[in-house]
Chain A
């Protein structure tokens, strides 16, 4: 069965610092990988996705993620964090012909001034 692990429950970074959020997945076939962001009391917004091809994918708001098959990872990065990036971030894994996806537990990002 597919599963997603986000090892960090809460991360605090200073504004302007770089950010990396970790995501590890378990899946028997080629995974479809996603990162979503959720602001308090809101739904989820897609930041980026990986289906195939270039393992470094660019997303919205200056985020990128790198798929590493050997490490079963899909870590999210941003070179310089802005205060507006404070939110909950979810990694998810799905399959092309599956109807659903599975989410990690989420990482809450706090940005210090």
Chain B
């Protein structure tokens, strides 16, 4: 079945630095990928929709200059948390939709836990 890989699974960084998280579709092409943020014991909140070859679409309240998304190929999307602060500490999850599938079935990565000191 479809597999989505996220890297790194855990990252600790100092306040003010930038962190990049990768999301790869391993055995399928993903024209659309999604980035979510999950706080402890809470649901997933959609941050942005990443479309290959075009600008990401951000949800209301998500700072696009803070959370840079790049979807340069059909198998890779990256989320960069710029000038990270402790309040950015969270669990970030990506998902991908295979090609032009109209069935809207998403495959999720295992998530990346970011801790900002």
Contact = CB atoms under 8 A, between A and B. Distances in A.
Nearest to B4: A43
B42 A105 contact: yes
Given A42-B110, A44-B93, A94-B104, A100 B43 contact: no
B74 interface: no
Interface of B, secondary structure class, is strand
Interface residues of A, number: 25
A25 interface: no
Interface stretch (A14-22, A45-53, A71-79): A45-53
B15 to A, nearest CB: 23
Contact of B104 (A90, A95, A102): A95
Contacts, number: 53
Given A90-B44, A106-B43, A51 B103 contact: yes
A99 B34 CA distance: 9
Interface string A55-70: 0000000000000000
A97 B97 CA distance: 12
A19 to B, nearest CB: 20
Given A44-B93, A108-B41, A98 B110 contact: no
A96 B108 CA distance: 18
Interface of A: 32, 36, 41-46, 49, 51, 90, 94-106, 108
A108 to B, nearest CB: 7
Contact of A105 (B4, B43, B93): B43
Nearest to B104: A94
Given A42-B111, A43-B109, 20 more contacts: A36-B108, A41-B113, A42-B110, A43-B108, A44-B44, A44-B108, A46-B106, A46-B107, A49-B105, A90-B43, A95-B104, A96-B104, A98-B104, A100-B34, A100-B46, A101-B106, A106-B41, A106-B42, A106-B43, A108-B41
A9 B109 CA distance: 24
A99 B97 contact: yes
B78 interface: no
A89 to B, nearest CB: 11
A75 to B, nearest CB: 18
Interface string B1-29: 00010100000000000000000000000
